[in-house]
């Protein structure tokens, strides 16, 4: 089978995508599959690296320089040289954030008729948008912390009014988040009005819509979900760290970071988290995979934090380890399972004329 691995991208999470791709490419069975890495630069230029040799790629070869000056011509070459190859195909879009995780690349793959790992166009767009996630999870009756939405237009027209509204809602201490970014990029923890104002200004550098959430004192618990029509949830896991705000550096550069899988929480809380994860997965029409994050509050209640429809697959990522601790699935076997789900979803859609 031909396996296309798409990575890089124009999102601020470009570096995270590179880390994920390096790990996935190393794990893919090149004797079983023909692997074609496809790099998308920060400028949106596409470059096919050709068929990956059986001994893999060096890290320095993952970022080739495109010979094209624009995205259209670079994509055209990849369409002709890589995507037009005959045979059974599947794509691994390892692109985090906008222009990759938001349904855009998924739409291209739909047009090409290539099955792909992960969510479809609609669910990819919904899960990346924290505002939409909150709305749909609320309709599904899943408990969440208090939150407000702030747009760039609102902030530019009435900063004082926005700050007053957020304070009246009791959102301090709280978090300011760009609506469509992950990996804690652009997120600020705010304890007072001055920090809140600075956090909004920082987040607006990354997005035109923000989500401001009240802090939930307690612990952050994650669970991995996998499957199409019958999703399953892993044992819950927890990152052990010594910081109040689990930011980008803490996630990817803290040498003291440790995983606790299964998380040491009461059995009733663990079961509620697993059940709520599947409910959230289904409410957002997810397929393939997602990591669902919760807060276990000091009050003993479980609150949904967010859904990450394309969780990291780096050496320090929680998602693959949770499955290994749950049922013994190795990293390489997990990739194979996810590709099988992609092919299953592709066959199902083809049987009904591709209806979403």
Judge contact between 280 and 137, C-beta under 8 A.
yes
Q: How confident is the model at residue 253 (pLDDT cuts 50, 70, 90)?
A: low
The structural domains of the chain, ordered by start, are 2-116 (3.40.50.20), 146-214 (3.30.1490.20), 217-351 (3.30.470.20)
Judge contact between 314 and 23, C-beta under 8 A.
yes
β-pair partners for 249: none
Q: What is the pLDDT of residue 355?
A: 46
Judge contact between 236 and 223, C-beta under 8 A.
yes
Q: What is the pLDDT of residue 185?
A: 80
* pLDDT > 70: percent of the chain: 94
Look at residue 292 and tell me whether its pLDDT is greater than 90: yes
Q: What is the pLDDT of residue 153?
A: 97
Highest-pLDDT range among 94-103, 234-243, 292-301: 292-301
pLDDT tens across 198-214, in order?
A: 999 999 999 999 999 99
Q: How confident is the model at residue 145 (pLDDT cuts 50, 70, 90)?
A: very high
Q: How confident is the model at residue 56 (pLDDT cuts 50, 70, 90)?
A: confident
Look at residue 246 and tell me whether its pLDDT is greater than 80: no
pLDDT tens across 175-198, in order?
A: 999 998 766 788 999 999 999 999
Q: How confident is the model at residue 351 (pLDDT cuts 50, 70, 90)?
A: confident
When pLDDT is averaged across residues 274-281 and rounded to a whole number, the result is 97
Q: What angle in degrees, to the nearest 10, is found between the helix axes of 318-327 and 331-351?
A: 100
Q: What is the rounded CA–CA span in Å between residue 287 and residue 99?
A: 19
When pLDDT is averaged across residues 93-114 and rounded to a whole number, the result is 93
The mean pLDDT value of the chain amounts to: 92
What is the pTM assigned to this prediction? Answer: 0.90
pLDDT tens across 293-343, in order?
A: 999 999 999 999 999 999 988 877 899 999 999 999 999 999 999 999 999
Look at residue 73 and tell me whether its pLDDT is greater than 50: yes
Q: What is the rounded CA–CA span in Å between residue 80 and residue 83?
A: 6
When pLDDT is averaged across residues 26-53 and rounded to a whole number, the result is 95
Look at residue 243 and tell me whether its pLDDT is greater than 90: no
Q: Which of 304, 337, 142, 328 is nearest to 231 (CA)?
A: 337
């Amino acid at each position: 089978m031909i396996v296309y691995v798409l990575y890089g991208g124009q999102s601020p999470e470009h570096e995270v995508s590179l880390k994920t791709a390096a790990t996935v490419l190393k794990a893919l069975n090149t004797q079983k599959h023909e692997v074609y890495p496809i790099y998308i630069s920060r400028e949106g230029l596409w470059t096919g690296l050709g068929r990956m040799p059986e001994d893999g790629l060096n890290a320095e070869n993952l970022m080739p320089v495109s010979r094209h000056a624009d995205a259209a011509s670079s994509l055209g070459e990849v369409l002709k040289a890589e995507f037009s190859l005959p045979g059974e195909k599947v794509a691994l879009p390892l692109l985090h954030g906008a222009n990759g995780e938001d349904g855009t690349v998924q739409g291209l793959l739909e047009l090409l008729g290539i099955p792909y790992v992960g969510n479809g166009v609609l669910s990819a767009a919904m899960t990346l948008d924290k505002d939409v996630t909150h709305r749909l999870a609320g309709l599904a009756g899943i408990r969440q912390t208090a939150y407000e939405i702030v747009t760039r237009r609102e902030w530019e027209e009435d900063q004082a009014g926005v700050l007053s509204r957020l304070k009246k809602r009791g959102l301090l201490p709280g978090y300011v988040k760009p609506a469509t970014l992950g990996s804690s990029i652009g997120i600020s923890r705010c304890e007072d009005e001055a920090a809140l104002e600075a956090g909004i200004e920082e987040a607006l550098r990354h997005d035109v819509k923000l989500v401001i959430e009240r802090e939930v004192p307690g612990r952050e618990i994650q669970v991995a979900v996998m499957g199409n029509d019958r999703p399953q949830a892993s044992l819950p896991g927890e990152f052990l760290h010594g910081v109040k705000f689990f930011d980008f550096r803490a996630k990817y550069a803290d040498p003291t970071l440790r995983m606790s899988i299964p998380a040491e929480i009461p059995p009733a809380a663990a079961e509620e988290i697993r059940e709520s994860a599947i409910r959230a997965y289904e409410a957002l029409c997810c397929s393939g995979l997602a990591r669902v994050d919760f807060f276990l509050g000091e009050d003993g209640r479980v609150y949904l934090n967010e859904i990450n429809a394309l969780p990291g697959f780096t050496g320090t990522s929680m998602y693959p380890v949770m499955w290994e601790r749950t049922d013994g699935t190795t990293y390489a076997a997990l990739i194979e399972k996810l590709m099988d789900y992609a092919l299953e979803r592709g066959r199902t859609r083809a049987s009904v004329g591709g209806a979403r």
